[in-house]
Amino acid sequence: MNAKQLSATTPASMRSFFTVWAGQVFSLLGSELVQFALVWWLTTTTGSAMVLVLASMMAVLPRVFVSPVAGALVDRWNRRLVMMVADGLSALAIVLLAALFAFDAVQIWHVYVVMFVRAACGAFHWPAMQASTTLMVPEEHLARVAGLNQALQGLGSVVAPPLGALLLSVLPMQAVLAVDVVTAILAISPLLFVHIPQPERPAGQVDRPSMVADLRDALRFLRAWPGILLIIAIAVLVNLLIFPALSLQPLLVTEHFGGDVLQLAWLQSAFGVGMVSGGVTLSVWGGFKRRSLTGLLALALSGAGFAIVGLAPANAFPVALGAMFFAWFMNPIANGSLMAVLQVIVPAEMQGRVFTLLQSAAGAMIPLGLVLAGPLAEVLGVQIWFLVAGFAMAVMAVGALFVPAITRLDDIANRKSPQAASLEEPVTVPAGAR
């Protein structure tokens, strides 16, 4: 399916997309709620920081190690079935864990295993959904849909914790876990009836290459497109900078601003409300015609917001609160716009591999960032990380605006299909080279 065909997509295909998307809304909110409940159970049961660190690692490791393989398989398999199986296996893991809670037989390692399985299922589900979006949504609406997805993630961070806390106060853990099973059923049900297009095989390809060859082709594609490679590098570096800032928020409140749990709640609410507001803004506005310009300007402004948080004096918590909201308002505009660039340029039959390579590289930056941020914050203070991260993000984004390899992606995307664009910089492998 080329760009012209996408632009001529019928309203029925958009209805099909939003039918699937609505089911995924329930699934995401259910998953966020259950994740909160499990983390809270680990916290109250053990009181151990190491236990929480290990739980976080269970959610990160599949993104690093499973994602590349998942991407190659998603490009081979039926993407609708991938999403159904991923949601189903995740729900099955929760059913087994709920049974262990019901019989009072649960152990800490059981929770770790379930968290790992759910994260591994997500490593398959996310690229399948992103790649399917490209084939169901007209090209001119991809940024708007990406904005909706970003708003949904922010909404989950706002709604899931209080709702999870409420349910935990009135229901046993196994009943709270059952919520995720119900929402998984709501996500799977539309997929039983909605057709999701599959990408066509590249012209001239008769036999399917090996999975290793598929991954090699994806890497070769990225090397041939330095602009895309640079966008991925920016996303990876942003992950390196942002996640430590999130983990340091409690110390920023207590050690720098002299606040307590109420101030921390306000700061985290600014994160969630900012993401929702920014995502909705992008979904309504759609961004500039040059998607990379929209994304990079928003990224620079987001970095400025984080830098202001780091510069705010100890007696200026409201300034930090407003800057935090602004930083996270700009974040989904940046993420959604740059993701739309990738969805337009990367050929449909290769999106699973490329997107999961991005996911793997970005996930690997989380533990590295935590390792770097901890000692720096101990020596120079917590706020210095926000200042360094924000300044680095802004400089990186502004500098990228002057890189021709990135700016020309918009020119190609606005006049050609992904398949036609890929012919300008060949990524195919000569027969017999594999």
What's the pLDDT tens digit per position in 398-418?
999 999 999 888 887 666 544
CA 209 to CA 295: how far, in whole Å?
35
Output the DSSP codes for 149-184: HHHHHHHHHHHHHHHHHHHHHHS-HHHHHHHHHHHH
Average pLDDT, the chain: 81
This prediction has a pTM of 0.68
Task: Please compute the mean of the pLDDT values over residues 264-290 and round it to a whole number.
Answer: 85
Q: Which residues, 6 or more positions from 413, have their beta carbon under 8 angstroms from its beta carbon?
A: 139, 291, 341, 344, 345, 421
pLDDT of residue 13: 59
CATH class in words for 3-192+210-422: mainly alpha
Residue type, 400: A
Helix (H) or strand (E) holding 337: helix 317-345
CA 284 to CA 85: how far, in whole Å?
32
Q: Helices then strands (H, E): number in the chain?
A: 18, 0
CA 302 to CA 308: how far, in whole Å?
10
**Where on the phi/psi map is residue 189: left (φ > 0), alpha (ψ -120 to 50), or beta?**
alpha
Q: 22 is written with which tokens?
A: 């609505």
- Contact between 183 and 30 under an 8 Å Cβ cutoff? The reply is yes
CA 135 to CA 2: how far, in whole Å?
9
pLDDT of residue 85: 93
3-state secondary structure at position 83:
helix
Residue 196 has pLDDT above 90, yes or no: no
User: Which pLDDT band holds residue 255 (cuts at 50, 70, 90)?
Assistant: confident
pLDDT of residue 9: 44
pLDDT of residue 418: 42
User: Which pLDDT band holds residue 111 (cuts at 50, 70, 90)?
Assistant: very high
Q: Which residues, 6 or more positions from 418, have their beta carbon under 8 angstroms from its beta carbon?
A: 2, 3, 344, 345, 346, 347, 348
Alpha carbon 153 to its chain centroid, in Å, reads 8
Q: What is the pLDDT of residues 290-327, one digit of tens each?
A: 889 999 999 999 999 999 999 999 999 999 999 999 99
